Amino acid sequence: MTEVTPDQTGGGGEPPPSPPPASPDNGWRREYWSRNLRLMVILLAIWFIVSFGFGVLLVEPLNEIVIAGFPLGFWFAQQGSIYVFVVLIFVYAKMMDRLDRQFGVDEQETEGAAS
């Protein structure tokens, strides 16, 4: 086994790697991600309440309410949770557009952009 020693003559070999640059300020990224996570948790909680709470747990009391001939609990279990989920997707997209503009990371429309 041979021992590897640094070249003492000054010729040949590469200099040792420089230390990584100091990390840039990531405070705004953490704040952006924190707000994004908060929004997702709120919207998923709403969806859970509507789909599981109204569609499964509270189906019997809600079935006492009849709208257009259909029990409300049945409607939530079959269609309501899907409608709410689609609405939540649009709400998330709108809120994220607003958050992107607030942090300056929004996608700007440029003339002649690839389509």
Instruction: Give the Cβ contact number of residue 103 at 10 Å.
Output: 14
pLDDT at 25: 78
pLDDT at 1: 59
Taking the CA of residue 100 as centre, how many other CA atoms within 13 Å lie in the half-sphere pointing to its CB?
Answer: 10
Q: How deeply is 76 buried, as exposed, middle or buried, from its count of CB atoms within 10 A (0-12, 13-18, 19+)?
A: buried
Query: Hey, which residues does 70 pair with through a beta bridge?
Result: 67
Check: pTM over 0.85? Answer yes or no. no
Read off the pLDDT of residues 40-97 as tens digits, 9 standing for 90 and up: 999 999 999 999 999 899 999 999 999 888 899 988 888 999 999 999 999 999 999 9
pLDDT at 26: 83
pLDDT at 36: 96
Please answer whether residues 85 and 51 qualify as being in contact, where contact means their C-beta atoms are separated by less than 8 angstroms: yes
98 pLDDT above the threshold of 90: yes
Instruction: Give the Cβ contact number of residue 73 at 10 Å.
Output: 21
Rounded mean pLDDT of 9-19? 63
Q: Show Cβ contacts of residue 61 under 8 Å, excluding neighbours closer than 6 positions.
A: 73
Amino acid type, 65? I
Stronger pLDDT, 32 or 5, i.e. the higher one: 32
Please answer whether residues 93 and 101 qualify as being in contact, where contact means their C-beta atoms are separated by less than 8 angstroms: no
